[in-house]
Amino acid sequence: MSEFKQQIENAARRQRLLLLGFGGFGLGFMLVVAVGFLLMKVTPVKVSPVPAATEAVVTVEKGAAIYFQGSLFSLSRYPVISAAAKGYVTAEREIGPSEEGAAVEVVLRELPAKLTVKVAAPEEALNWRINGKTYPSTSQLEAELDAGHYVVRAEHPYFQPVEREYDLERGESYSDELSLERAVGTIRLNVTPSDANVIFNGQSVSEVPAEISIEAGQYEIEVTKDGFAPIQDVINLTFQQNEIERHYRLQKKPAYVTVSTTPKGGRLTLNGKSVSAGKELQLSANKKYYLRYEKDGYGSKEEEINLKPDEHLDVTFDMALKIGEIHITSTPPASILIDGKPAGNTPLIVRLPATAHDFTLQRPGYVSVNKVIKLDQKAVRKLDVTLKTERAATIDTAKPVYKNSLGMEMRLFEPTEVQLGAPRHEKGQRANEFLRPVNLTRHFYVATTETTEGQYSQFQGKRKRGDNFPVTNISWEEAARFCNWLSKIEGLPMFYKFDGVNYRGFDAQSTGYRLLSEAEWEWLARKAKRNKQTVFPWGDDAVIPKGAGNIADETANGKTPFFVPGYIDGFANAAPAGSFVKDKAGLHDLFGNVSEWVHDFYTLVPPASGEVLADPLGAQAGDKHMFKGASWASGTLTEIRPAYRASSGQGTDKIGFRVARYVYGDAK
């Protein structure tokens, strides 16, 4: 190949490379532009309020962005724009990623107008109002306000108020000056007596009544006359109260009295009102007054006085002690306290100052009687008292029924004698049902229903069936501890004694909550509110009346060892407390539902022949505790009789309890 041809081919190769380079650059530039267009975010921008939007200037303060004809074109995150308009505060707005592409709003706040109002006169603080709104009292008003129409009112008590109207533009500063005119008014004066001297603001008023026309302001008035108490007054004449009338009535100068008393400590009155002795008392002159002094045991004295103006008088009451007599008797004889001090025993005759005395008659085991009696010098007083035993007084005040802190209804009973147990010939009788005569003497309260799970859970959280069901599966000691807990929260002495976890006996004189004794339980089930003692709670007939209680009825066939044919009570297990009607004693579920722990330890020792037990509570210690009464699982004649006795060392799902308490602590 010739050298010339080689040069031509080299030139052609360079031209192809150059064209290829330009093509590549153009393609790259177009790719960059395309990528930039794809990455660019367009966000519409709205400026408000509308008046500001028409002339607002929007600029980009931060970020790679361009604002053009209401939209922001941005390549970077978090661009910041600002908007400015005449009469508005310039506002900046950052646009977050979540706002990109959505319309954003820039809100401009109006620049306030500045109003300054000066006052030529007076050079004092004025009361200012703008459109009825009160502003601080100052000698010059300075306020920043939104654009609009305003009515400004300037007031001073002694000048006529002035109002001006202003139309203010945004960002405008406006100044004005006001001048107030002094207000004028009229003061009318009159006095009684008419010849009194009247000084008005240092000048004597020659004639009254007087009418004075004068500028608004504060004026001093003094009215005087010999023998009369002077009057001083200040009148404030304002533009609002520009007509004032005064009628001054002079009072004669007072008189004075000082009273001394012997003995001290009585009651001193002036025209029936209590006053203090030893102090100077001010009275009206030429007026009747009645001074009276009285003291228990000394009687009373009274004196009439009528004093001249400015007169001073000393009065003395000096009185002697008076003695009265009282005869005191009582049944039975009692010791006497008079005014808290021992005075002897009844019958007693005493002489004491003829005043009120506190007499207290007291005797152990009886309720004290307190009487306040005023003795009389002219007549013998008599005090005859019949003392009532503490037991009788307690019974007199005991409520027939009350509800305790857990809502238990407690019913009061006055027990009598009862024959516990059953004779050998009685059907269902067991050998442990010894016949025992018992005399119950102590009034007691007993809950009309068995203790429920809801009530017991406030002591210990044990729930199985529900709040209204009788609590079961608790031991005798747990029931006793519940009684002590209930006594404690009601401020009653505890009946049962515990040494930590160990049971240590009981206090028979306590009036705290306890379990029923065996004798009380059987008396309630067989004799309370009945004409005679019965075999069953409903009478002597072994046929169970319909609805008598919850026992093992026909539904228990196959579930319990025994059931009562022909009897249906509606419950296969325990029923909610109080589901059955009250018995003759007014108690629920004494028959059936669950058996009940009673207080006594179980014993098989028969009583001594002819022995009558009084309020028996059993031994202080023993092995097992007794429970009484049929349960939902009882289906034999033996178990449904109240004479039935059984014991257990632990709680079961068939044993619950009800609470009782004595009304008083002593026993006969």
> Which tokens belong to 469?
């069901």
Per-residue pLDDT tens digits for 495-508: 999 998 899 999 99
b/e code 161-190 from CB counts within 10 Å (16+ = b): bbeeebebebebeeeeebebeebebebebe
Is pLDDT of 36 > 60? no
Cβ–Cβ < 8 Å for 319, 301? yes
Q: What is the DSSP letter of 395?
A: H
Torsion sign over Cα 560, 564, 565, 569: negative
Give the number of other Cβ atoms within 10 Å of residue 505's Cβ.
12
Pick the range with the lowest mean pLDDT from 30-34, 189-193, 212-216, 335-339: 30-34
Q: Identify which of 292, 294, 317, 312 has the alpha carbon closest to the alpha carbon of residue 304.
A: 292
Is pLDDT of 375 > 60? yes
The widest CA-to-CA distance across the chain, in whole angstroms, is 176
Q: Which SS3 state, helix, strand or coil, does residue 38 take?
A: helix
Written as one letter, the residue type at 244 is: I
Task: Average the pLDDT over 382-403 and give the result.
Answer: 91
Question: What was the pLDDT predicted at 4?
Answer: 44
Q: 325 pairs with which residues across the strands?
A: 351
Task: Average the pLDDT over 150-161 and give the result.
Answer: 92
Question: What was the pLDDT predicted at 103?
Answer: 87
Burial class (CB within 10 angstroms; exposed 0-12, middle 13-18, buried 19+) of 36 = exposed
Per-residue pLDDT tens digits for 442-454: 999 999 999 999 9
Alpha-carbon gap, residue 487 to 481, rounded angstroms: 10
Cβ partners under 8 Å of residue 133, min gap 6: none
Question: What was the pLDDT predicted at 14?
Answer: 60
Q: Identify the band that residue 342 occupies on the pLDDT scale cut at 50, 70 and 90.
A: very high
Cβ–Cβ < 8 Å for 317, 262? yes
Task: Average the pLDDT over 369-387 and give the result.
Answer: 93
Q: Residue 76 to residues 28, 30, 40, 63, 499: CA-CA distances in angstroms? A: 22, 21, 8, 6, 83
Alpha-carbon gap, residue 513 to 515, rounded angstroms: 7
Q: Identify which of 245, 232, 243, 238 has the alpha carbon closest to the alpha carbon of residue 217.
A: 238
Question: Residue 527, Cα to own-chain centre: how many angstroms?
Answer: 47
Question: What was the pLDDT predicted at 299?
Answer: 83
What does 420-482 look like in DSSP terms, one character per residue?
A: ES--TTSTT--TT---EEEE--S-EEEESSPPBHHHHHTTS---SS-TTSBP-S--HHHHHHH
Question: What was the pLDDT predicted at 396?
Answer: 86
pLDDT top residue among 39 and 104 = 104
Q: Identify the band that residue 122 occupies on the pLDDT scale cut at 50, 70 and 90.
A: confident
CA angle at residue 89 from 88 to 91, to 5 degrees? Answer: 120
> Which tokens belong to 264?
């001290």
Hunting for tokens 């308009």 — which residue is that? 85
Question: What was the pLDDT predicted at 30?
Answer: 52
Q: Identify the band that residue 189 occupies on the pLDDT scale cut at 50, 70 and 90.
A: very high
Q: 65 pairs with which residues across the strands?
A: 74
Alpha-carbon gap, residue 577 to 455, rounded angstroms: 11
Per-residue pLDDT tens digits for 551-576: 999 888 888 899 999 999 999 899 99
> Which tokens belong to 131?
């459109």
Alpha-carbon gap, residue 312 to 281, rounded angstroms: 9
Question: What was the pLDDT predicted at 252?
Answer: 84
Q: Give the right CATH number for 184-252 from 3.40.50.300, 3.40.50.720, 2.60.40.1120, 3.40.50.360.
A: 2.60.40.1120
Task: Average the pLDDT over 287-313 and give the result.
Answer: 91
Which helix or strand (DSSP H or E) is residue 20 part of?
A: helix 3-39
Q: Please provide residue 290's backbone torsions phi and psi, each rounded to the nearest 5 degrees.
A: -125, 115
Q: Which of 67-81, 195-209, 637-651: highest mean pLDDT?
A: 637-651
Q: Identify the band that residue 522 occupies on the pLDDT scale cut at 50, 70 and 90.
A: very high
Alpha-carbon gap, residue 592 to 596, rounded angstroms: 10
Cβ partners under 8 Å of residue 216, min gap 6: 157, 158, 159, 182, 183, 184, 185, 237, 238, 239, 242
Q: Identify the band that residue 29 occupies on the pLDDT scale cut at 50, 70 and 90.
A: very low
Dihedral in degrees, nearest 10, Cα atoms 19, 23, 29, 35: -170
Is pLDDT of 22 > 80? no
Cβ partners under 8 Å of residue 635, min gap 6: 551, 552, 556, 560, 561, 562, 563, 564
Residue 420 backbone zone (phi > 0: left; psi -120 to 50: alpha; other: beta):
beta
Question: Residue 552, Cα to own-chain centre: how many angstroms?
Answer: 50
Alpha-carbon gap, residue 159 to 217, rounded angstroms: 9
Is CATH 2.60.40 the right assignment for the domain spanning 41-110?
Answer: yes
Is pLDDT of 33 > 70? no
Cβ–Cβ < 8 Å for 166, 154? no
Is pLDDT of 121 > 80? no
Q: Please provide residue 18's backbone torsions phi and psi, each rounded to the nearest 5 degrees.
A: -65, -45
Q: Identify which of 449, 445, 444, 460 has the alpha carbon closest to the alpha carbon of residue 407.
A: 449
Task: Average the pLDDT over 591-613 and give the result.
Answer: 93
Question: Residue 21, Cα to own-chain centre: how many angstroms?
Answer: 94
Alpha-carbon gap, residue 36 to 31, rounded angstroms: 8
Class of domain 323-391: mainly beta
Written as one letter, the residue type at 604 is: L
Q: Which SS3 state, helix, strand or coil, does residue 141 take?
A: strand
Burial class (CB within 10 angstroms; exposed 0-12, middle 13-18, buried 19+) of 114 = middle
Cβ–Cβ < 8 Å for 420, 643? yes
Provide, rounded to the nearest whole percent, the portion of the chain with pLDDT above 90. 64
> Which tokens belong to 649?
């060392």
Question: What was the pLDDT predicted at 5?
Answer: 54
> Domain 113-178 is classified in which CATH homologous superfamily?
Immunoglobulins (2.60.40.10)
Written as one letter, the residue type at 642 is: P
Q: Identify the band that residue 34 occupies on the pLDDT scale cut at 50, 70 and 90.
A: very low
Cβ–Cβ < 8 Å for 483, 473? no
Question: What was the pLDDT predicted at 646?
Answer: 95
CA angle at residue 472 from 436 to 640, to 5 degrees? Answer: 40
Question: What was the pLDDT predicted at 7?
Answer: 55
Q: Residue 390 to residues 363, 368, 510, 614: CA-CA distances in angstroms? A: 10, 9, 15, 20
Task: Average the pLDDT over 105-129 and give the result.
Answer: 87
Is pLDDT of 74 > 80? yes
Is pLDDT of 530 > 70? yes
Alpha-carbon gap, residue 357 to 518, rounded angstroms: 52
Question: What was the pLDDT predicted at 668?
Answer: 47
Hunting for tokens 């509570």 — which residue is that? 617
CATH fold of 398-668, please?
paralog of FGE (formylglycine-generating enzyme) (3.90.1580)
Is pLDDT of 32 > 50? no
Task: Average the pLDDT over 303-332 and give the result.
Answer: 92
Task: Average the pLDDT over 321-340 and give the result.
Answer: 95
Hunting for tokens 């508005």 — which residue is that? 88
Is pLDDT of 397 > 50? yes
Q: What is the DSSP letter of 239?
A: S
